[in-house]
Structure 1
Amino acid sequence: MSANTLEEAVALTKKFTSKPSNEELLKLYGLYKQATEGDNNTERPGGFDFVAAAKYNSWSNFSGKSKSEAAEEYIALVNNIAAKYS
Structure 2
Amino acid sequence: MADLDAQFAQAQADVKTLTSKPSNDDLLTLYALFKQSTAGEASGAKKPGRFDLVGKAKYEAWTQVAGTSADEAKTRYIAEVDRLLGR
For the aligned residue pairs, the C-alpha RMSD in angstroms reads: 1.4
Aligned residues: 81
Shift of 1:43: 2.2
Partner of 1:29: 31
- Please identify, of 50-59 and 39-48, the stretch whose mean Cα deviation from structure 2 is larger: 39-48
Shift of 1:63: 0.9
State the Cα deviation string for residues 25-71 of structure 1 (Å, max 9, x = none): 00000000001111111121112110000000111111111000000
- Please identify, of 69-78 and 40-49, the stretch whose mean Cα deviation from structure 2 is larger: 40-49
When normalised by structure 1's length, the TM-score is: 0.88
Name stretches of at least 5 consecutive residues in structure 1 with no aligned partner. none
Q: Could you say which structure has the higher helix fraction?
A: 2
Aligned: 1:60 with 2:63: yes
When normalised by structure 2's length, the TM-score is: 0.87
Percent of paired sites with the same residue: 43
